[in-house]
């Protein structure tokens, strides 16, 4: 009882002291902190938020002055926190769903930077400040060294264990990258998905929206009910046959048109 009173008095004293200090130094609500002298921190934060909200479209590279900011975001802990938070929201949604039992309740997940992370590759590309390098990325993907994104792996496991049919739909080329991708996913724990769908010759030259829309349409024509669609790119979540809900994961390193 006495210790609780002492703790309460201490808290009141600290709040009183902070209030006096705030008034003395002119602290105002929403005052910007940790901003470099040139204002680049807040500028890059604004850019990232605009990208994630799809207000900046078709961008090709991360602004050069934002390299350090994106690096800090991706490996400094905030990206992981954001992924965990979104995964938690998806799991809450999944908990409220009732699986029918006919084997036709489906989810669609993207692969790159949704299931598997390309952070090690993009570290060598200045976190997206360098232009996209198709041959370089192909060589990286063929190594099969992408680590799983923990939050998504946990979510994937929950979906499979709950009885949903999970379809992994990727823009990777089937002819050249299928073996490495299949092995990479298996080695990272993505086991039990219904089907892994690659981009085939039939979709060569077509946009990601056209390709993924057609795949979703085919699945729905087969009778599947798409309860959720998860991806790190807006083009994963646009077009036709989107499903009941879409979930956008953060990725400020590159944009797939």
The answer to the question of residue 29 being in a domain is no
Pair 116, 173: CB distance under 8 Å: no
Count of alpha carbons within 13 Å of 124, Cβ hemisphere only?
A: 7
The answer to the question of residue 173 being in a domain is yes
Torsion 158-161-163-168 (CA) sign? positive
Residues 5/9/14/15 CA torsion (nearest 10 deg): 100
Q: Which H, E and C letters describe 29-65, residue by residue?
A: CCCCCCCCCCCHHHHHHHHHHHHHCCCCCCCCCCCHH
The answer to the question of residue 39 being in a domain is no
Tokens at 131, concatenated: 């232009």
Torsion 80-254-177-215 (CA) sign? positive
Pair 140, 168: CB distance under 8 Å: no
CA distance 184 to 197: 15
User: How does pLDDT run along the chain (257 residues), one tens digit per residue?
Assistant: 445 444 444 543 433 333 333 334 333 333 333 445 556 788 999 999 999 999 999 999 999 999 999 999 999 999 999 999 999 999 999 999 999 999 999 999 999 999 999 999 999 999 999 999 999 999 999 999 999 999 999 999 999 999 999 999 999 999 999 999 999 999 999 999 999 999 999 999 999 999 999 999 999 999 999 999 999 999 999 999 999 999 999 999 999 99
Confidence (pTM): 0.84
The answer to the question of residue 8 being in a domain is no
- Specify the residue for token string 């992994």: 168
Torsion 218-221-223-226 (CA) sign? positive
Q: How many domains does the chain have?
A: 1
CATH number assigned to the domain comprising residue 209: 3.40.50.1000
The answer to the question of residue 88 being in a domain is yes
The answer to the question of residue 2 being in a domain is no
Domain that holds residue 155: 45-248
- Specify the residue for token string 């990727």: 170
In sequence order, what are the residues at sequence separation of 6 or more whose Cβ sits closer than 8 angstroms to the Cβ of residue 206?
A: none
């Amino acid at each position: 009882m006495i210790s609780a009173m002492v703790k309460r008095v201490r808290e009141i004293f600290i709040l009183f002291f902070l209030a006096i200090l705030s008034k003395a130094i002119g602290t105002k609500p929403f005052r910007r902190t940790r901003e470099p002298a040139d204002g680049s921190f807040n500028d890059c934060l604004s850019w990232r938020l605009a990208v994630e909200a799809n207000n900046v479209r078709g961008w090709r590279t991360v602004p050069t002055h934002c390299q350090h900011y994106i690096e800090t975001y991706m490996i400094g802990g905030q990206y992981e926190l954001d992924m965990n938070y979104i995964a938690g929201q998806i799991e809450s949604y999944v908990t409220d769903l009732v699986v029918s039992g006919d084997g036709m309740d489906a989810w669609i997940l993207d692969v790159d930077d949704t299931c598997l992370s390309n952070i090690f590759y993009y570290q060598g590309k200045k976190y997206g400040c360098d232009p996209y390098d198709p041959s370089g990325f192909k060589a990286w993907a063929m190594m099969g060294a992408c680590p799983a994104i923990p939050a998504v792996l946990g979510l994937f496991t929950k979906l499979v264990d709950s009885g949903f049919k999970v379809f992994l739909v990727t823009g990777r080329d089937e002819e050249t990258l299928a073996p490495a991708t299949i092995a990479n996913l298996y080695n990272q724990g993505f086991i039990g998905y219904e089907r892994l769908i690659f981009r085939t010759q039939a979709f060569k030259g077509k946009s990601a929206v056209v390709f993924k829309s057609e795949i979703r349409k085919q699945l729905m024509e087969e009778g599947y009910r798409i309860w959720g669609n998860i991806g790190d790119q807006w083009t994963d979540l646009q077009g036709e046959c989107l499903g009941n809900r879409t979930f956008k994961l953060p990725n400020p390193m590159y944009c797939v048109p």
